[in-house]
Every structure is written in C-alpha cells, then in structure tokens.
Chain A
Amino acid sequence: MTAHIDYSQCTGCKKCYEVCPLDVIAWDEEKGKPVVAYPDECQLCFICEVKCPAAAIKVKVPIIFW
C-alpha cells in the first residue's frame, strides 16, 4: 500500500527521492530507480505523486474506516 511506482513510466529523475520528507523512498544506485523502502512510514502526504514529472507514482490510500 501507500506509494506505488510504475517503473515503466519512471524516468529515474530522483524527484520523489528528493522530496519525500520522511525518507520513505530510497534510491537504488544499480538500477538508477527509486524504491519504496519504508512503506509503513508513509504519511500519505501525496507529495511524491504531486511532484513526479512523469506521473509514475500513485499513492494508494489503504482502506480507512476512521
């Protein structure tokens, strides 16, 4: 759940890695792509989705009843 990266769209520009305030998104040097390393620490602020220039990230809100 939380941030999902569509790697077929991702250009590896590092924007999400740069903006995630909680350092949830790590950088995979080998692949040159971001990784959602700590999904449990995502606060659902949507900033990665909003700032991604390739629209490759979707933040999926888990089921929340309250």
Chain B
Amino acid sequence: MKYVETEVLIIGGGAAGSMAAIRASDFNKNIIVLEKAVLESGGALGIGHYTGELNPMTNVPGGPTTEQFVEGYLSSSSGWSGIERPMDKYIIGEEFLNIVKLLEEWGLEIEKDENGNYANYWENFIGERMESGVPVKGGTMKKCLIGELRRRNIRIVERTMAIDLLTKENKAIGAVGMNVRNGELTAYKAKAVVMCTGSSSRTYIVRPGRKWFWMRDMGTNSGDGRGMCYRAGVEMTNMELMRTDHMIGNTMGRFWGGKCVNYKGEEFLVETYKKRWSRLWALHLEILKGNGPIYWDATGLTDEEMDKRNYYASVEKNYPDISIYESQRQRGLDPRTQRAEAIPQPIGLLGGADFKYNGGTSMEGLYAAGDEIWQDSLSGAFVFAWRAGEAAAKYSLQAELEPVDEEQIKAIEEKALAPTRRKEGYSPQDLEEKVRAVMTRYANVTKTEGMLLQGLELIKELRERVLLKLYAKNPHELIRAAEVRNIMDVAEMHMRAALFRTSSVPYGRHFHHRLDYPEQHPAWYRQRVLIKRVNDGMKLFRRMTSEQRVPTREEYEAIKEVKP
C-alpha cells in the first residue's frame, strides 16, 4: 500500500466535489480530489444530467426573496412531509446567487433579459409560489468547473474509488483509494475529508432484464459514501425515504410541454397538487387506483412548441435524453402522434449522513455535500459544497495529521483484495443484480413489515453465502466488488429504516409508503430516523427535526458564518 499525505481530501469530483475543492482552496492549497471515473465525465453533470436551468433565482429582479422562496417550498408537497429542515432551503435562497455569478465568471453562458439581468422564468403550477430559475447552457457547466479546478492547480486523482474511511476514534483521518484500472491501493492521509459521492442509485433494477446499469441517475453512483460513512460509524438519516421518477424509455421522462394523463386520457395532477401530495406519489397512486398506465401526451403540441421542448432537452444540454429520442426513433414512434408511457420507477435513495449547516457530520473532520446528503438539487449541492469545502479547509488548518492505524489499513486491504485471492466464486455483478432484485421485490414503492423482514433475511443470506465468496478476475471486477458492499449496506439501511418508521410519508419529492401504516401518523411528524453502526449491527433511533416554518433572519445570521 502506497501512502499519500494531503490536508483536505475530497471524495468525488462531481458538482459537489468540484465546488468543495474550489472553495477549500481559498483557505488551504493542499487538496486532493479522488474521482472514480474522470473529471470530464464524472458525476451527473459529466454525463449531462439536469443542466438546462439553474434555480432558485432568488433576490433578483422579478424573483422571490429568500423568505418567499422558503415559504413557497414549505407550502408545496415537500414542506408538508414534516421532515424538511427549512434552514437548508433558506441557506440556498441566500447563497445560491453568489454561486451563479461565479459560474458565469468561470465561463457558463446564462440567459439574460434585455436589461442585462438574469432571465427569470416563474414556474407556477396552481397559483402556488414556486422556485424561479434561469436557463443556462448546462452542457458546459462541468467544463467551467474543471477549468477553475485547473486554474487553481488542484490535484485530481482520477479512476480512483475511495473504498473505506480511515478513522481514529470518532475522527476521519483519510481514506483508502483503489485504482479502477489496476486495482492498486493507496492510503490518503488527510486532516479533513469531504464526502461527495452522489446519490445511491444502483439500488433497484430500474429496467427489467439483464441490463441492470440502465437507470436514471449516473451509473457510477453506487452509494459509496453512504457505505463508507455507515461502516465508519457516522450517524445516517432519512434512509427510508425513496425517490421515484417517471421513466420514458430508458431515462427520466419529462412532461415538459406535454400533459401527464392516465389511460383514460384524464389529467389528474392538478387535483394532487391541491392535496399537496408529491407528483411522484400521485403517479404511483393513480396506478394503484387502477387508472394506469400513465402517459406523457405531447400530441397536442405545435411544431414550434415541440422544437422548444427539444431545445430544452437538446443533445448539448442532456446526453441522456438522446436515449429517449433514439429508442423512440428506432421503434418508429413520434411523440407528435403517439403518447409515450411513463412509469414511476424507484430510482434510488437520497438519505445519507446527518449533516450540520456547515456540511459537518457526526464524525469530527468529516464533511459531506451534494446528493450524498439529501441535497436533492444542483443549487443545494453547490451551496452546501461551498460551505463544506470552507468548513473542512478551516478545520484542516487547526488539525494535526494523525498517524494511521496499521491494523486498520491491513483490515481494509484484506477485505478489499479478498475477491482476488480466491480461485473461484461468485461474480460481483451477479451479487449486485441479486441485491437489487431483492430491493425491487421486497422494498419497492409500497412496503409492508412482512416483505421488509423477508427482504432483510435475504440480504443476510447474500452477505453470508455470496459476499464472503466473491471472486474478481481483474481490477474492473474488484471495483464492482467494492461497490456491491456499499450497495448492500445501503439496501439494508433502507429496509431497516423503512421497518422502523411505522408511518407513511405521502408528501415531498421523497416519500415512504407502508401499506400497513398508510397514514402519516402525528407521532412521526418531524421525526427523522437515524441509523448508526454499533458492534457490527444497525442501531436505529429517532430524532426531532426543526420546526416547519420559515426561519427568521436572526436565525440565519447566527449560522451564516461557516465555522470548522
């Protein structure tokens, strides 16, 4: 094992990781970013996800104030879930505009109105105040971040997956990385670590059939940060909440410019918004009611509207949308004449390490940002990465480099390389498919106690019978083996948390549905489920989250300054 010393170690080079590194470098130049893929194509931005607009655009001409933005958020379905922390949104409302200005400085093309102000499009569904946004040339966003990383001479280590954290008691002191191409292990010693590995998307089989990498989110997102944090004893939260999306063809369907209808051709979403249910929950319910399938109906669009829609989801902005067009083109379908089926599919889990307003976790010296921690938006990823980068760098300036525990390194190495030391065994890809099959059958959108208990039994069996007998014939498979450990930890955390929350959460972009507890029980309102590893087992408990109201200016001022 090689040893490398740094001061701030950033795990993941996507939107959050890049931004955290940029901000950290304002305080400490000694930074390393580990990226499992490569910067250019790493993370959601790297493959062109969700980059057509930036929102919210608060405190700009025509846009909402921070208070209005948070108020709008709290009166939407998300606010009614009772698990939100409104201050997170307040921070985004206050601080995102500075990031937008920086992105523009770094070369991002942002649409302006005739007065030279950022263009401001209001999305207003049924008269509710919603976020505003500005159209940007999102296909170049990653390029802008990479340019800035290079200008600042930040050291990037590509094709390297962090496999486990190095800790000393409850303190993060580095991580072990594995090279994707040759399987070499390196111990990165650091004073502070920022975890930015994205969402945990490889949790369900989104597309039936053998091609289990087809999914909505970035394919590299196997929940590595969640696995590492859990194993290191970090407090994890919201792991029971799941996220679904309506898939058309291979990727996230969008109802942009078209209508969302049930099989009778009825639009049903407006009714849903009035009940403040989330759209994703509504699609799911509509099918349960017997009104499925759901379609994206764009047949009424004029050519001009269709062109606009296509522009919005164009090649330059969104690579994944190519697969919608390609699959439709190859099947001879034309959205102008035929409606396309949109299936609500589980696309992953967004709960993660419980975090503070400076991105800090329950572990000293460990920070997290982006989809790693429930920041289900690009604005949230950028703003909290900015804060986490700053906090981690400030922390690193006052911390000492700790000596690593050789026993710990050895144990990590043994575990990581075990699949190469066997002569035969199960393939990691097969195990991943099985874990995801278990999740898809036993922990899908609708859950019950019995199904969850059975699912947990099967995960236990897979751990004992398969995980300990994995065989990797090359470094590529060794990486898949390291990933599947994380996928299994995430799967188990999800099922245990879902079992623990004996109540449903029908609101929000992420929800939880227990058929045996179909209502949101008042006793569970504002309660978050926490998970912590204790003696190799999962300990679950609950913790009250903040009041569901717009924070005051004074409350924001108190946490505005980012402290280590």
Contact = CB atoms under 8 A, between A and B. Distances in A.
Interface of A: 18-23, 26, 37-38, 40-47, 50-51, 59, 61-64, 66
A61 B42 contact: no
A32 to B, nearest CB: 17
Given A43-B214, A47-B47, A66-B341, A61 B38 contact: no
A47 B38 CA distance: 12
Chain B facing A: main interface SS: loop
Nearest to A38: B476
Interface stretch (B320-328, B418-426, B539-547): B320-328
B123 to A, nearest CB: 27
B315 A37 contact: no
Interface string B246-258: 0101100000000
Chain B, interface size category, equals 35 or more
A9 B542 CA distance: 59
A41 B331 CA distance: 23
Contacts of A41: 213, 219, 429
Contact of B213 (A42, A51, A59): A42
The A interface is mostly helix, strand or loop, or mixed, namely loop
Contact of A23 (B48, B210, B322, B476): B476
A64 B36 CA distance: 29
Contacts of B136: none
8 contacts: A20-B41, A21-B220, A22-B220, A40-B210, A41-B213, A61-B323, A61-B330, A64-B327
B319 interface: yes
Contacts of A47: 41, 46-48, 319
Contact of A46 (B249, B319, B429): B319
Interface of B: 36-38, 40-42, 46-48, 159, 180-181, 207, 210-215, 218-220, 247, 249-250, 315, 319-320, 322-323, 326-327, 330-331, 341, 343, 429, 476, 479
A59 B46 CA distance: 17
Contacts of A23: 37, 159, 180-181, 476, 479
Contacts of B207: 64
Nearest to B220: A21
Contact of B38 (A21, A26, A38, A43): A21
**CB-CB nearest 9 A-B residue pairs:** A43-B219, A21-B37, A45-B47, A61-B326, A19-B41, A61-B327, A43-B213, A21-B41, A64-B327
Given A19-B41, A45-B319, A64 B249 contact: yes
A66 B47 contact: no
A64 B38 CA distance: 29
A35 B222 CA distance: 24
